[in-house]
Amino acid sequence: MKRILDLVVLPGKWVGWLVLPLILSVCLTVLAARMGWNAFVRWDQALPVLGRGITVNTLADLQWYIFAIVAIFGGVYAFRDGQHVSVDVFSAGLPRRVQLGMRLFGDLVFLLPFCAIIFWYGWSFALTSFNSGEGSTYGGLMNRWLIKSIIPIGFALLGIAAITRAITTIGEILHPAATDETTSQ
């Protein structure tokens, strides 16, 4: 199960580096606004994603693209490491098996259906964008389906992580002595 979780969070580990281009993009946008620049580079033939040039709008789009990617894939990473938002105040004083039961209930009743719904609608959302050739109408980034496809991909990975954690939790509930031995080592 650990290997599955390690694979599922791999994009979350990689996208952490996107914070650096995000910072650069924000700084360039501020500089461009201060200097009154709109276009940095233009060319004749449209390129995938970039269109016909790099403008302030391109940088603005890039900022929210990067933020979305970091938030979605980083959320899966945080879930795996238990750094996500949870409601531990309700279970803090309860026995370990009850806490595990509550976690299993939350994963199966709330998280998995939520991931399935977001995956289902996110997939059609991205597919509609792809089929329509959606892109920026104000000189930003083109091929919006690329960023929109992050939604179903990210929630599929989160769903896989939830299933994996549910299986692990069931194992901990059924065999509490085995998990106590592995955590003490």
Dump pLDDT digits (tens) for 78-91: 998 887 777 777 77
**Backbone region of residue 53 per phi and psi (left: phi > 0; alpha: psi in -120 to 50; beta: other values):** left
pLDDT in tens, 60-114: 999 999 999 999 999 999 998 887 777 777 778 889 899 899 999 999 999 999 9
**pTM of the predicted model as reported, rounded to 2 decimal places:** 0.84
Task: Give the chain's mean pLDDT.
Answer: 89
Residues 169 and 164: their CA atoms lie apart, in Å, by 9
Percent of the chain with pLDDT over 70: 95
Query: Domains of the chain: which residue ranges?
Result: 2-81+93-177
Residues 151 and 121: their CA atoms lie apart, in Å, by 9
Compute φ and ψ for 133, nearest 5 degrees.
Answer: 70, 30
Residues 176 and 26: their CA atoms lie apart, in Å, by 50
Residues 45 and 58: their CA atoms lie apart, in Å, by 16
Percent of the chain with pLDDT over 90: 60
